[in-house]
Every structure is written in C-alpha cells, then in structure tokens.
Structure 1
Amino acid sequence: MSEAPTQAARHLAVVGGGWAGLAAAMAAHDRGWAVHLFEAAPQLGGRARTLPGPAALAGLDNGQHILIGAYAQSLRLMRQVGVDPEQALLRLPLTLRFPDGGGLQLPRWPAPFDAAAGILGARGWSWRDRFSLLAATLRWQIAGFRCAPDASVLALCQGIRPRVMAELIEPLCVSALNTPVDQSSGEVFLRVLRDSLAGGPGASHLLLPRTDLRALWPEPAAQYLRRQGHSVQTGQRVHGLRRDTKGRWQLEFVTELEAPTAFDQVILACPPGEAARLLTQASGLAGDEPARLAAWATQAQALRFEAITTVYAQADAKAGAVPDPLRLPHPLLTLRCGPEAPAQFVFDRGQLGGPAGLLAFVLSASPDLSREALTQQVLAQGRQALAPLGLSALHPLGTVIEKRATFACTPGLQRPAQRLIPGLWACGDYVEGPYPATLEGAVLSAQAVVAALG
C-alpha cells in the first residue's frame, strides 16, 4: 500500500468526482501524488450516482448500470477500497431472456465454448438463425475482431438473420454503445465483443449491483482517499483556471475553501461541456496554447449525446385478496421494443437487494419525448410484456432522464485527446480510447492519464 503524501509531494488537482475522477485520484495516490479532488455536485459518482433527497426516488439510482466480468480495473479498484465484488455484485452468465422465455443464455463454461453452446441452445431461434450468427462470429474471429473504422454495427452484421439481430445484436449494441446499430461504431462493438465473449474465464458474465451505486464504489473510494491523507470535497465547483508565472495551476472557486494555492498538474475529469467552459476561460497561457485549448473545446462540444431513461414502478402479481409483489424469472429481462414500446430491459430490483416488486425499466438511446409520454409508453409496454408472468398491476414510482448519459459512439468518431497543454489533462469515458461510454472506459482513461503524468 502506498504511503500518505508528504509535504514535499507533488500536488494534483482532480476536477470531477465521477468514476473517472475517483479512479484518477486512486491511481495518483498509488504514484505518490498529494491529491485534491473537487466535485461540484453534493454527491460523488457523476452519471452513476444515487439520487439524494426526500422524494419518492431517494435512495434509488439515476440509472441501471451493468458491469461485466471483463471490467478488470473497476473490480480491482473495488477490492482496493474494501468492497468485495462477489458480495456487492450478482454474477450471472450472459443472459438475454425475454418474458416469454425466448432468447439467449450462456452456460457457465469456459470461452468460447459458452458462447457456442448459448447460440446453439437459443430458444425460439431456427437453425438458420443460429448458423447465421455462428458464421458471423467466426468471420469476426478470423479478422482478429477488427473492421474498417467507418463501418457501422449494421454493416458488420450483414448476413445475420432478423430475429438474431432483434433479440441479440440490437440489445447488446444499445446496452454497450447506447447507440442504434445503424449509427454505432463496428470497430468499438468488436472491441467489446473481443474482451467479453472472447475474453478469459467469466469475462462475459453480467455483474448486477446489489447495492446502490453510491455504496458500490464512489463513497468507499472517497473514504479510502481521505484515510490516506488526500482531500475529497463535494459541493465545490471550480470557477476558473489560471497558470501562474512559475507554471503551476491555480483554481478559482465560487466560494472560499481550504486548498493549496497552486497545483503541479490538473486533471479535468468533469463532463465535456464543463471542461470546455474551463478551458475557454483559462488564463496565464502562452503562444498557441489558447488556440489549442479552443480546438479541444470545440471537438468536445461537437460530441453528440444520447439519453438514458429509467422508469421505476412497483409490480403486483395476481393473488388472493392482498396482492403479492411480482418476481421475475431472472433479475434482468430483455424486452421487445418498438416505436411505442421504448424500453429494452427491465431489472427486478427485488432480486438485487431492493424492495420486492420494485422494477426498473431502462430505455437506452431514449426517444426525445416528454417524461410523461415516456412513462406512459413504458407502463403500457410493461403491462403487456409481463402479463403472462402473473402481473396484475404496475404502479409508477418515478422516471429519471439522464439527458447526456453517454456520447453517441459512431463510426470513425474522433474523440478529444487526453493531453491538452503542459500540466493540463482530461479524462473520462468520452476521451480518446478503445471503449464506449462505460464505467470501465472511464476508469481506464483515468489510469492512462495518471501514467502519463510522469
């Protein structure tokens, strides 16, 4: 374990307390930096957080996040701060079952035999369906899970039959890249498949949080950092950046707070819009640095974002005089979606440590409709899809719309660079890297930046 920072240690400012910011702070601790993390919101976690306040949704999450067994660094960081992934996460083989029992479920076998067995045993698929997917999978493996940078997932999947596209490829793509198949990067999709379905033992397993997102890692990470002598402050928005005559960075805050007067390095782990604001207003620059920062900000602001909507509802099952909570056959079910049935997944929170009968319907790449319209469409979809499982009533509890949940992972997308100018860096799931907007992508981005600090 690294020692607590000394007075002679170099000082690093991390702006943002999501998974990227906290991962950067952890990596910097391991390398002997004195870390000072500032988060503008009252809680940590960024776009993977627990909702605060006394409202009906308090204690629930802003969305449903799935980790997979291939997220090696995220799992390592959990263990480092004292979180046992085997207790905090429910581990399941990759399962994309529908309420009617159709779909895919991989056995607990070593790769690639688990994928082959899952495909051959998929319920409701014809042999032509199965062989079309096996042929495509073999083609991707022969190509080393590589394709042209401008290829979409739809182009990549030519020859795969419509049922397989609807019941496997589209749900996988929208859950991993949060972008429709005709607009998603085939290159990134293949990278995800390579590291999961073709990864090591358990790489393709789904890891579903059994606790709220705050307790899963952000709060334990903050507590760990504070115990090691670092500073983690919430409710502190950085108002501006200024480089002094000695080349060190000074942060300006809306309110006075106790912090070093200058920092050797600054990592912007905040959303791209906030990073762009800070860069375009930075002072103390020289030469072509203002133009370089302006170009980075323009590139970051040009990213297109997709929304994720989560509709929470209480489900009752058909019973006697008093309704019983509904229990789904799996903690996660895939839903058949369409123009007026927008949810792709439903989570049974009662099987994940929550109240019995609490369901969370998830709309990746959510349509641009009002909260009320989305809620009504999802409730109607849920009542129809879950009726064969014994659903008698579905009561809405609340709807959370994360409007800028992920960037659109499109073919050939040029993402902003990690290195900005000397002493100034950016990290996050949207920064250059091989992965889509995932928790592991954010963690890997942060670790790469800290490794480059020197």
Structure 2
Amino acid sequence: MTPHVAIIGGGWAGLSCAVELARADIRVSVFEGSATLGGRARVVEKDGWRIDNGQHILIGAYTETLRMLRLLGVSPKRLYSRPFFIHIPGVLDLQAADLPAPFHLAVGLLRAKGLSWADRRAAARLLSHLKRIRFVLTEDVTVSTLLDRTAQTPTLRRLVWEPLCVAALNTPAERASAQVFANVLRDSVAASASASEVLIPRIDLTELLPVPAVLYLSRKGQNVHTMTKIRGIARTEHGFSLEGDPFDGRYSHVVLATAPWQVSGLTAEFSEMERLRNQLDAMRHEAITTAYLAYDPAIRLARPMIGLDDGLLQWVFDRGQLGGPDGLLAGVVSAAGTELSREEIALRAHQDIERLFATDSARLPAPKWAQVITEKRATFACEPGAFRPITMTPVKQLYLAGDYVASDYPATLEGAVRSGLQAARTIFRSVGVAQPTLFKLD
C-alpha cells in the first residue's frame, strides 16, 4: 500500500508532522475538528478582537520550531527578539549582556538591579552545580527541593527561579520536576546568548505557524480539512479507516496529534491500547489564564513584557508594542488554580495593572473591553516522575504526537513541534524513506 498518513489534529504538532512528511513527498491528510488551526496555540475572535487563546513566548533554544518557521518562509521580523531579561518594575531589572556565553549571563547578573551580592552568588552556585553534574540529576525531585539543596536566597527564588519555573513548566516550583527545569536552563540561560533570547510573536499564533504550514502543504498537493471531527479509528485489511472521514480514505499510518484525553475515544477498538489509554486518562493537567484588557491607546508598558511580584498576574504583555492594537494588554496566570469567576479575574487583573500607572492625583480608567480565557487543561502537570508516553503505541503504525509526548522539554510549542517531527521520522523508518535534508528549503 502506497503510504498515506492520516494526521488527526491540526495543532502545532500535527502540522509539523505533516510538513516533515510532505518534504519527503509522502501523502498526508490532516483532519481538524474546529474551524481554526493551531490547537491550544491559536487565534480566537471575541467581540471583533482577534486575540490568542493564551499568550505564548519562544526562546532561542527552540531550534526545531525556529527551523520550521524558516522552512515555511516566516520572516524573523514576525518575532520580537531580545536578550534574556526579567523586568519587574521597581523591583528587578535583569538582562543578559550581548556577549558570548558564559559572560552574557555573568555580566547580566553583575549589572542586575534588585539583587544583592548574596543573590548573585546563589545564582552562580545553582548554575555551577548543574554544570558540574552535566544537568543530570541522580533523582528527580521538585524544583523547590533543588533550590533548597543549592541554598538559593528567598529573593532569588521569588523573583527569578520560581517565576521562570512556572513560566516554562506551567507547574509551581513546589510540585515541578527539577530535571525538566534543569533541561530548560541547560538549553537556554546556561547555553549561548542566542539560545537564551526571548522571542515573542508579533502576529497571532495561527498566523505564525499553522497558516504558513497549510500554504506549504497546499503547494505540495497535500490536504488539510478543518471542521472535520474524527470520532474513531478502525483497522482494515491494509491499514486504517477513520470514522467521520467524509472522503472514506484508507490510510497506511495514523498520527494522533490530539490532546491526551482524546486518545481513548479514538482508539476504543484497539484492546491492546487499554493500558496506554488508562495512563493517558490519568495524566494530571494545569490551567493557564490570560486576561486581555483594552485601555486607551496611550497606555504603554515600560517593556513589551514585564513581570509582577505582587498580585494575581505573573506577566503582562503590551500587545501594542508587539504588533497588536495600542493599549491592549495581556496578563497571564500560569498554573492558574483559581476559583475566581471571569469577572473577578478581569477586576483583579485591572487592579494589578492600575498599580503600574496610578498616581496620587489620578487612577487608571477601567478598560474599554476585557476578555478572560482559561485553558483548563493547557499543559500536563510537569511533576517528578510524571508519565509521558513515547511516540509509538502498541498498535503498529499508529503514533502519538503532542507536547505531552516524552522529551526533555515541558509542554511548550517546541515540545509540540519536536513530537510532530519525531512521529514523521518514525514513519520514514517504517516505510524505508530517508529523512529529508535538515535545512532543505523547498
């Protein structure tokens, strides 16, 4: 049977898999149940506003994501780029220097405002410890335990390590995997200056990768079907068929690029998947809340991205400085285990932002528009020993892709892209096709 791969899910994992297969001229059909591509990193329209379903950032260490964007012809200008920084107004100003590693971070720490010499020594102590053990822990513990063992100061924990942990792993430090956190540090701030760069999309997340991916696939004669909900997978004499496929296709391979909790319903026919289904259904997840507040266009943050040390919001992004409407701010609460209503979250977010602008003589006017989006299962809980499946399943030629699939990284855009590429490369081996040249731009 000529290879024809069905990819269920049009998020970043599924589309990356499709693009990689198309580069090798393997026939692909992508099925997405919603009208908008991108999965949990997509644009949504609310009251005439186009906003993302959650604010995302990238870093220079996201090599596969950046390679994919280059392959798809996405201009680097689509990303705001700046050396690693954490800016908390009036509290901390830390920015890596534009120097080769390790001087970029060392000079950044020396110049940082808001850190004592004890804080600087503690930061050096943690990174030296991780380098000494080659960033491989003898046992996975929580990030809090790692910080305890390396005698990190309360200030450094509160202002640097804990915010970085929850931003990268979307899991609080007291529950987060120290090994995954060490992996992130290894490939970012402890690596090169370019690897630690902060990259923030200037366009919506659907336009950043999904739309260029669909255009690429279209040029290659491949099919992407939106508003097509696949309800199940069945085995046939020569491969698979899909329940809900309007084209009644026959597929040699299937890639499940869905959320983990959707796998059970799709694979109910396969008894050999029972154990894996149970493991996926038992996975714990964390929420992310993003509060969008539209103010007068004159409202502008000191930086496109700032941190907050006291309040509900952890990070605030100035979308007006990032290609969006002036005055539109996005406040993020990662690992958002809050029981507040949307109205309460919007009010608390406004109060956090008001403290940045209010003076003795004037208060910040209420926003003209507000929208709160909570992804209740935005990421898996990145805890020590958390179950993460491999790409292959007990069913031959049926694969998994998604940011939850086993890798060094937490549930990030890079994790999603890498999982899609891994699924594609596993298919290459199964059909005896050579992997396309790494930097081939066709």
TM-score over 0.5 (shorter chain): yes
Aligned match of 1:410 in 364, 380, 383? 383
Q: CA deviation at 1:245?
A: 2.6
Query: Of the candidates 266, 279, 283, which is equivalent to residue 254 of structure 2?
Result: 266
Change (3 A) 1:391 1:12: farther
Q: CA deviation at 1:414?
A: 2.0
Task: Give the Cα–Cα distance (whole angstroms) in 2 for the partners of residues 386 and 163 of structure 1.
Answer: 25
- Residue 392 of structure 1: aligned partner: 364
Q: RMSD of the alignment, in Å?
A: 1.7
How does the TM-score come out when normalised to structure 1? 0.89
What is the alpha-carbon distance in structure 1 between the residues aligned to residue 121 and residue 48 of structure 2? Answer: 45
Identity of aligned residues (%): 39
Q: How far off its partner does 1:264 sit?
A: 0.4
1:98 corresponding residue in structure 2: 88
Determine helix, strand or coil for the equivalent of 1:399: strand
1:127 corresponds to 2:117 = yes
- Contact 1:89–1:210 (8 Å) recurs in 2: yes
User: Which of 275, 287, 290 lines up with 1:307 in the alignment?
Assistant: 287
Note closer, same or farther for the CA distance 1:348–1:152 as it changes in structure 2 (3 Å cut).
Answer: same
What does residue 78 of structure 1 align with? 69
Aligned residues: 422
Q: Deviations over 1:54-82 (max 9, x none)?
A: x3263111111101111111111111112
Output the amino acid matched with 1:103: D
Matches of 2:423 and 2:82, distance apart in 1: 32
Q: Deviations over 1:400-452 (max 9, x none)?
A: 11111111100111212221110111011111111100000011111112211
TM-superposition CA deviations, 1:326-352 (whole Å, max 9, x none): 111110000113xxx221000001100
- Does the 8 Å CA contact 2:42/2:52 hold for their aligned counterparts? yes
Aligned counterpart in structure 1 of residue 322 of structure 2, from 352, 359, 362: 352
Tell me, in whole angstroms, the C-alpha distance in 2 between the residues paired with 1:30 and 1:333. 39
**CA deviation profile, 1:353-372 (whole Å, cap 9, x unmatched):** 11111110011011232222
Distance in 1 of aligned mates of 2:396 and 2:403: 22
Which residue does the alignment assign to 1:321?
Answer: none
- Counterparts of residues 239-388 of structure 1 (less than 5 Å): 239-246=231-238, 248-253=239-244, 257-258=246-247, 260=249, 262-279=250-267, 281-282=268-269, 285=270, 290=271, 292-316=272-296, 325-337=298-310, 341-369=311-339, 370-387=341-358
Corresponding residue for residue 222 of structure 1: 214
Structure 1 residues 94, 387: closer, same or farther in 2, change over 3 A? Answer: farther
Q: Secondary structure at the match of 1:419?
A: coil
Partners of 1:149 and 1:407 in 2: CA distance: 20
1:4 is matched with none
Unaligned 5+ residue runs, structure 1?
A: 1-7, 317-323
Alpha-carbon distance in 2 for matches of 1:143, 1:217: 36
TM-score for both structures, normalised by structure 2: 0.92
CA pair 267-131 structure 1, distance change in 2 beyond 3 A: same
Which one of the candidate residues 37, 42, 57 is aligned to 2:30?
37
Is 1:144 the counterpart of 2:137 in the alignment? Answer: no
Instruction: Tell me the distance in 2 between the aligned counterparts of 1:57 and 1:148.
Output: 52
User: Deviation of residue 223 (structure 1)?
Assistant: 1.2
**Is 1:436 aligned with 2:407?**
no
Q: Are the structure 2 counterparts of residues 362 and 378 from structure 1 closer, same or farther at C-alpha, using a change threshold of 3 Å?
A: same
Q: CA deviation at 1:257?
A: 2.1
Query: Does the CA contact (< 8 Å) of 1:326 and 1:356 recur in 2?
Result: yes
